[in-house]
Chain A
Amino acid sequence: MSEHVSAHVSTLCEDICPTDIISTVEFNSTGELLATGDKGGRVVVFQREQESKNQPHRRGEYNVYSTFQSHEPEFDYLKSLEIEEKINKIRWLPQQNAAYFLLSTNDWKVFPDPNITPTDSSLPCWHSSPCPDKTVKLWKISERDKRPEGYNLKDEEGRIRDPSTITALRVPVMTPMDLMVDATPRRIFSNAHTYHINSISVNSDYETYMSTDDLRINLWNLEITNQSFNIVDIKPANMEELTEVITAAEFHPNQCNILVYSSSKGSIRLCDMRESALCDNHSKLFEEPEDPSNRSFFSEIISSISDVKFSHSGRYLMTRDYLTVKVWDVNMENKPLETYQVHDYLRSKLCSLYENDCIFDKFECVWNGTDSVLMTGSYNNFFRMFDRNTKRDVTLEASRENSKPRAILKPRKVCVGGKRRKDEISVDSLDFSKKILHTAWHPSENIIAVAATNNLYIFQDKVN
């Protein structure tokens, strides 16, 4: 697989501002838009340029389309708790009209508010309450390229005219203006979560979505903001008995009654909402027995699943734990179909990774459009791709030095012992502060977005 760099979005500042760290990346369903969320609560949406015959070398590059502040830092006075504004997840809704809709969530809130009417201002309008509710936000992103001109009651600058000076009536006309992209919050889904939200997933019925925290999954109707249904609750009656938490959840891509959720114990549960209102009892439990020869102090930590994704076909599940990516057949619960080692050379380094907290990093994983290639991140700004058919894998690096436009990415290799070859990098030289946790793959083309701390890299496959 050769990857040809087509665009690279640069940072806001050379030193890494903590609020600029990208925390989520997501293509919309057509791949036309790419959204990123960062630790500062901002969302940046990129739009793919229309391919033009005049400039064939600019084949569909992504440019900034809209930027808005989705979540603000808040303080819960009741619990003396500061609520992080970092965007944990963004999920696009399927497009039904000219406007685009996305759901964004921080640890606590998923958003939009129906009582707020959009104004002519290009600033997003939302209301942050002094006693913040735990909410999810639905944002509407729409374009305006015309504005009304020729009001009767106000002049061109917006000042109210003295009615006695008005001698004639005119009809305001829509006149062209520079394109403006507005982001407005449309729904605020509130008060549903006690614990940190880790996932949101839009259902294939396009009417509902679910939000997931450590212990509960809630089902929402996109139109109804003041109530949600709890469909999974694993909170024990006695919190002493807590042994696992939910780490991620997703709806089946086309069966609107099926969902899966992963746990910190390394298991995945599939639930069918038709079976009962509360899906505490799973329909299927995917679990692989632990290999006793690999047992260590850190076995529990590294078996915790950080991400679960259905394949586009819905036939397979992919899970990511600290050292591996696994593909499961939905019809086979007792072991995964395939297991891929992401960075097994770290197995002997778990103690130091525990010391520097890297062992708690939560890597995501993604499928390509045809479910034949898997991608996930690693350290040193490396990311890995696994071809399920050829069984080949490649390690690539997202860094400025290696990513001049039009350059082809060179595969990287980590030397695990013995003699280090010229191009290889030894395990001890890896930079563990440069981690790629979030990646995204275009739904139909070989275009990938890789978030490396505060940089976003977009790579395209070379086509001749």
Chain B
Amino acid sequence: MDVTAEAKQIMIQALGKMYSSRTQRGGLRLHRSLLLTLVMKSARDIYHSARLQSENKAQCDNPSVTDNTSQTEEPMDTSSKVSEVSSVETQCTDDVHEHDQHLLSPAETIVDKENCNPTRQDRHSRKRRSKTATEPDFLPCKKAKLNSGEVRGILQTSQNNPANCGRRLDSFSLVHMPRAIVSF
């Protein structure tokens, strides 16, 4: 579990860095935010495949489990996200354990940890909006500081727009970062 622990740690730190860069002098640094997003994605992918590997090992005699969960993936995700959002930052490690079982990708057969993209199926089923899409360049700082109430509100809004759900997972929105952690 070393790889998964490291991946988790990296993701948590990336989140922290992104939040703190909002309050930095000079405004949001696009380059740095992009790199942090890529690290998050990398860590998440590696975490996924590592978890999948261990899950596969544990469930090698029960392959049908994965089919059911993939279909119910999306609604389960959003409901679980809403319930967890208020304690995201302090409980993200718990969330990771609790929710990763919902994210098994049935099509995932690649074992290569480093270079695979295990969540490609997920990308088509869940919308992740880039942080840079949710706000125009360099919004006033006051908008950037999200409290749990705001995050809840945003998540509820996106829940009400099912059309928004389910597509690209290329990059993260800072708004949705908590969700990214929660959903593992």
Contact = CB atoms under 8 A, between A and B. Distances in A.
B46 A242 contact: no
Interface stretch (B34-42, B53-61, B65-73, B154-162): B34-42
Contacts of A83: 26-27
A77 to B, nearest CB: 9
A298 B39 contact: yes
A107 B31 CA distance: 13
A301 B39 contact: yes
Contact of B170 (A82, A240, A354): A240
Nearest to B128: A240
A300 B171 CA distance: 14
A295 B30 contact: no
B114 interface: yes
Given A240-B170, A242-B34, A304-B31, 12 more contacts: A80-B140, A81-B140, A82-B25, A239-B132, A240-B171, A242-B132, A243-B170, A264-B34, A264-B35, A297-B42, A298-B39, A360-B35
Contacts of A296: 114
Contacts of A357: 17
B130 A242 contact: yes
Contacts of B146: none
Interface in A178-200: 194-196
Contacts of B34: 242-245, 264
A191 to B, nearest CB: 14
Contacts of A76: 138
B35 A79 contact: no
Nearest to B167: A240
Nearest to B113: A295
A156 interface: no
B34 to A, nearest CB: 6
A247 B25 CA distance: 20
Q: By CB atoms of chain A within 10 A, which of B7, B30, B132 has the most?
A: B30
A26 interface: no
B43 A297 contact: yes
Contacts of A244: 34
Contacts of A80: 140-142
Interface string B126-168: 0001101100011111100000000000000000000000001
A355 B170 contact: no
A contact patch SS: loop
B175 to A, nearest CB: 13
A194 B139 CA distance: 12
Interface in B9-43: 10, 13, 17, 25-27, 29-32, 34-35, 38-39, 42-43
Given A240-B133, A360-B35, A295 B26 contact: no
A265 to B, nearest CB: 9
A25 to B, nearest CB: 21
A240 B130 contact: yes
Nearest to B43: A297
A84 interface: yes
Nearest to B20: A357
Nearest to B27: A81
A214 B6 contact: no
A79 B170 contact: no
A82 B27 contact: yes
B115 interface: yes
B134 to A, nearest CB: 9
B35 A239 contact: no
A332 interface: no
B15 to A, nearest CB: 13
B19 to A, nearest CB: 14
Contacts of A299: 42
Contacts of A107: 26
A324 B129 CA distance: 34
Interface in A213-253: 214-215, 238-245, 247
24 contacts: A80-B141, A81-B26, A82-B27, A83-B26, A83-B27, A107-B26, A195-B137, A196-B29, A214-B30, A240-B132, A241-B130, A242-B171, A243-B170, A264-B31, A264-B35, A292-B114, A296-B114, A297-B7, A297-B10, A297-B46, A300-B35, A300-B42, A301-B35, A304-B35
A351 interface: yes
A9 to B, nearest CB: 27
Contacts of A300: 35, 38-39, 42
Contacts of A298: 39, 42
A245 to B, nearest CB: 5
Contacts of B31: 196, 214, 245, 247, 264, 304
